[in-house]
């Protein structure tokens, strides 16, 4: 065994604990600081760190090995993720080879919509799970010819809570909210905004009709996720879509606590950018 | 489902560590749980109660240590985060109080099995 506590800390802890707990022994798990992998044969003791490591492995396959820039779209059901990705597919530059992984709890409605744009689509239904995970995305990209792709869109299951804790390995995480969810939707879901690299406020063409204050949504996003770009769009009218496309081209600007920042420094995404130029 | 995924991984780590120490029983699991996650202690406990049945951890007590968020900035500042003024009191502010740039979270995102307690070694193991 090569547990971290064996390197000195364990003895201190044992001295502190064992006189009190004479009938038991305590084993304390080491901290995997700096994203280091766990020791041989030891299961990862931090569940979320393990997910981040799995996502980093997917990221490496996509960005470094495959030269594919992947953007994940997450947000509530009905926020307009599919319509936005369709709008981006319609505006993709000549020669750009794109594919989509469509995640849903059930059904192939989104996959069918994407296929009508003439791109390869992998439909992933989770059955019961409320979010995609790196393992599912890894299996989905097995079905794609990464060498023949420049860009991959990954649409997560409609949900504003659980996906925040489960990065998938995309170069960029994009959270989509729509004005129809109420202009307090951003402050109700702070952690998902902090986990993402880009915020899209969609359906702005009907903000007046539903009484939503887009400026307030922007301010909330800025307060909750400093330095994260915010773009207002309407997939219906096309407003803001070109700006969204440019932001996707630029890649991640800042990561507060994403795996790119802590474990990968976005190098995979940068390399994908270079390949496209 | 989210908590069940996490609970399964915690149990897996605990059972593996116990088995490597030839312990047939786990008496206690301690889990560090960051408040800047969507995982909750009550739901994790519920899931662990369900999935430990029939395992070495069936009778284990589960304890949670809350971990409050802490951040670090490129400017050198580090420390516990503040609530976001006037917006959301229960999420960490990621704005550096010194220079205003974005902080990286250094704590508060844990869901980590920090310790297990297993019965004292038998003579033959020593």
Residue pLDDT, tens place only, B34-78: 999 999 999 999 999 999 999 999 999 999 999 999 999 999 999
The reply to whether residue A47 touches residue B103, judged by beta carbons under 8 angstroms, is no
Give the domain range for residue B94. Answer: 69-106
- Looking at residue A267, its pLDDT comes to 33
Do the Cβ atoms of B95 and A50 come within 8 Å? no
B53 phi-psi bin (left φ>0, alpha ψ -120 to 50, beta other): beta
* Distance (Å) from the alpha carbon of B50 to chain A's nearest alpha carbon: 18
- Residues A222 and B95: their CA atoms lie apart, in Å, by 10
pLDDT of residue A228: 96
According to DSSP H, which parts of chain A are helical?
9-17, 47-59, 81-90, 109-115, 134-142, 185-188, 190-195, 207-210, 214-224, 241-250, 259, 267-276
Q: Are residues B61 and B27 in the same domain?
A: yes
Q: Same structural domain for residues B26 and B78?
A: no
Ordered by where they begin, the domains of chain A are: 67-276 (3.40.50.300)
Mean pLDDT (whole number) for A73-82: 96
Over residues B29-37, the mean pLDDT reads 95
3-state secondary structure of B44: helix
Average pLDDT over residues A167-173: 96
Give the residue among A240, A243, A174 at the shortest CA–CA distance from A207: A240
Q: Are residues B120 and B102 in the same domain?
A: no
Read off the pTM.
0.82
Statement to judge: residues B31 and B89 lie in one domain: no
Query: What's the number of domains chain B is made of?
Result: 2
User: Does B19 lie in the same domain as B44?
Assistant: yes
pLDDT grade, residue A78 (50/70/90)? very high
Q: Which of A47, A162, A189 to mutate to test the interface with B (most CBs of B within 10 A)?
A: A47
Contact A43 B13 (CB under 8 A): yes
State the pLDDT at residue B59: 96
Note whether A248 and A217 are within 8 A (CB): no
What is residue A124's three-state secondary structure? Answer: strand
Mean pLDDT of the A14-43 span: 51
pLDDT of residue A27: 80
Whether B15 and B41 share a structural domain:
yes
Which residue has better confidence, A35 or A142?
A142
């Amino acid at each position: 065994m090569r547990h971290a506590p064996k390197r000195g800390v364990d003895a201190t802890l044992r001295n502190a604990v064992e006189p009190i707990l004479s009938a038991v022994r305590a084993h304390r798990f080491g901290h995997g600081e700096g994203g280091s992998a766990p020791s041989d044969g030891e299961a990862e003791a931090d569940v979320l760190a393990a997910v981040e490591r799995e996502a980093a492995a997917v990221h490496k396959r996509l960005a470094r090995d495959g030269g594919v820039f992947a953007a994940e779209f997450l947000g509530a059901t009905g926020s307009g993720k599919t319509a936005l990705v369709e709008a981006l597919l319609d505006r993709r530059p000549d020669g750009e080879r794109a594919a989509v992984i469509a995640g849903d709890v059930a059904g192939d409605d989104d996959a069918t919509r994407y296929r009508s744009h003439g791109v390869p689509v992998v439909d992933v239904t989770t059955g019961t799970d409320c979010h995609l995970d790196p393992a599912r995305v890894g299996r989905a990209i097995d079905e794609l010819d990464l060498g023949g792709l420049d860009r991959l869109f990954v649409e997560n299951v409609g949900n504003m809570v659980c996906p925040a804790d489960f990065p998938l390995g995309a170069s960029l995480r994009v959270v989509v909210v729509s004005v129809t969810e109420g202009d307090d939707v951003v402050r109700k879901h702070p952690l998902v905004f902090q986990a993402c690299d880009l915020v899209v406020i969609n359906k702005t063409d009907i903000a007046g009709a539903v009484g939503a204050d887009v400026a307030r949504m922007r301010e909330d996003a800025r307060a909750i996720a400093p330095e994260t770009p915010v773009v207002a769009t309407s997939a219906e009218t096309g407003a803001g879509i070109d700006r969204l496309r440019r932001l996707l081209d630029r890649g991640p600007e800042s990561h507060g606590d994403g795996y790119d920042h802590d474990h990968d420094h976005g190098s995979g995404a940068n390399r994908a950018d270079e390949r496209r130029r | 489902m989210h908590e069940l995924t996490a609970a399964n991984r915690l149990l897996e780590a605990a059972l593996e560590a116990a088995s490597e120490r030839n312990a047939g029983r786990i008496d206690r699991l301690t889990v560090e749980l960051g408040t800047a996650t969507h995982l909750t202690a009550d739901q994790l406990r519920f899931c662990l109660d369900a999935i430990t049945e029939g395992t070495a951890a069936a009778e284990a007590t589960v304890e949670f240590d809350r971990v409050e968020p802490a951040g670090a900035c490129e400017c050198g500042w580090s420390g516990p985060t503040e609530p976001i003024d006037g917006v959301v009191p229960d999420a960490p502010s990621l704005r550096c109080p010194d220079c205003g740039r974005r902080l990286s979270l250094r704590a508060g995102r844990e869901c980590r099995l920090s310790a297990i307690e297993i019965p004292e070694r038998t003579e033959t193991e020593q």
